[in-house]
């Protein structure tokens, strides 16, 4: 990917880049929509991601090019979100604006070429990957210091305030803190990050449903609002609660009569999901992979029933995977409303089994599921 990014940059801008960076996509292992609710989440950086090549300009323009041939121009003195086919540039341009607001000095603009081997729309967070890769490259090129947590917060702020996506820090945090063959655990209330080894002989398989989602335009913002509406209701009874993740299952049950069924189910998903993250942590320590898998599948069922961020295509894949040999558990990964399913498997699960499930999916929905076998990889880095 480094050579590909260099070639795209050179052929587009007529000179070699001076800075390259890579950031991975991520798998959300467990902890669905808990990040912006102050909860717990576990994820893994993957080996696939986004590579950017940059070079300074002599003026204050920003010129951006993707491997699809889309070229977009912006200006340092007028950084505004773009729409339509140019909207992908909101992620690197948003990061640029946040870095400037954070004190980074840019006397000139830059050229940037972006290449990716992440499947777009699969819920593996290509957005966080381009944010982190851009942040690392710009910081190096223009002399700005930040640690991994700082870069993660820069990416999240760009997505929240410039792109308009009210996400938490899951995607950026996992992309920043990823380690080979490790899971990243985030306590989103305190924004503390840690890693834990993957159990030996286990693998991730991603089944991209190719049922596309666009989170900014989807029900993601509705779920964000519904969670905060549920919290407001609960705070009338539990004033000390700062987020839904401060609410226990017993407290939620005691307050069930305080609000309507929809908000109760939204809160149930978050409260239950935090409990499932803790259960997975304990099961991993005990080496109980069956219990890990049961928690993953239960997470998907809560997404389907309580949070309603699944779709029939994802439900079908989870159902088929859950009854397959050598699969510990399966669930949607990411925001939902389309995208991908993650299967957590033993080393004995193979491409032949995956293809049988993909074929059944195609027969059911007349869509081709893209199957990806991946592993936990390294986090964002300069090249």
- Give the residue among 161, 269, 172, 265 at the shortest CA–CA distance from 216: 161
Distance CA 62, CA 180 (A): 34
- Active site residue: 171, 181, 350, 366, which one? 171
Largest CA distance in the chain: 66
Structure tokens at 253: 């049950």
Distance CA 226, CA 141 (A): 41
Catalytic residue flag (residue 260): no
Strands (E), the chain: 19-30, 40-56, 61-66, 71-75, 110-116, 182-187, 192-197, 202-211, 327-333, 339-346, 370-374, 381-382
Question: How remote is the C-alpha of 225 from its chain's centroid?
Answer: 19
Distance CA 342, CA 125 (A): 14
User: How many residues are present in the chain?
Assistant: 383
- Give the residue among 140, 127, 204, 109 at the shortest CA–CA distance from 169: 127
* Helix axes of 126-142 and 170-177: crossing angle, nearest 10 degrees: 60
Structure tokens at 139: 């910081």
Active site residues: 171
């Amino acid at each position: 990917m480094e050579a590909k990014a260099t070639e795209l940059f050179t052929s587009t801008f007529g000179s070699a880049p001076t800075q390259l960076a890579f950031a991975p996509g991520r798998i959300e292992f467990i902890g669905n929509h808990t990040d912006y609710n102050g909860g717990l989440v576990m994820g893994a950086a993957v080996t696939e991601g986004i590579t950017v090549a940059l070079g300074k300009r002599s003026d204050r323009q920003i010129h951006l090019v993707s491997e699809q041939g889309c070229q977009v121009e912006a200006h340092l003195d007028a950084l505004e979100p773009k729409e339509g086919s140019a909207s992908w540039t909101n992620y690197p341009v948003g990061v640029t604006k946040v870095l400037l607001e954070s004190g980074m000095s840019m006397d000139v603009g830059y050229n940037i070429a972006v290449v990716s081997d992440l499947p777009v729309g699969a819920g593996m967070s290509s957005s966080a990957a381009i944010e982190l890769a851009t942040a690392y490259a710009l910081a190096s090129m223009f002399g700005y210091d930040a640690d991994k947590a700082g870069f993660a917060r820069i990416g999240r702020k760009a997505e929240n305030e410039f792109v308009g996506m009210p996400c938490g820090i899951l995607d950026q945090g996992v992309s920043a803190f990823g380690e080979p063959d490790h899971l990243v655990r985030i306590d989103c209330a305190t924004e503390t990050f840690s890693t834990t080894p993957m159990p030996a002989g286990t693998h991730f398989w991603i089944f991209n449903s190719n049922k596309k989602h666009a989170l900014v335009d989807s029900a993601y913002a509705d779920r964000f609002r519904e969670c905060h509406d549920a919290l407001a209701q609960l705070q009338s009874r539990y004033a000390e609660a700062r987020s839904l993740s401060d609410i226990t299952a017993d407290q939620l049950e005691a307050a069930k009569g305080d609000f309507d069924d929809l908000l109760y189910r939204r809160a149930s998903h978050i409260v239950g999901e935090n409990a499932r993250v803790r259960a997975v942590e304990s099961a991993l320590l005990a080496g109980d992979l069956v219990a890990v898998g049961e928690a993953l599948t239960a997470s998907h069922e809560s997404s389907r029933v309580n949070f309603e961020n699944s779709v029939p295509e994802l439900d079908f894949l989870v159902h088929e995977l859950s009854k397959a040999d050598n699969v510990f558990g399966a669930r949607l990964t990411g925001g939902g409303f389309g995208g991908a399913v993650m299967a957590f498997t033993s080393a004995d699960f193979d491409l032949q089994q995956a293809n049988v499930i993909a074929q059944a999916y195609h027969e059911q929905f007349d869509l081709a599921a893209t199957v990806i076998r991946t592993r936990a990889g390294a986090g964002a880095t300069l090249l």
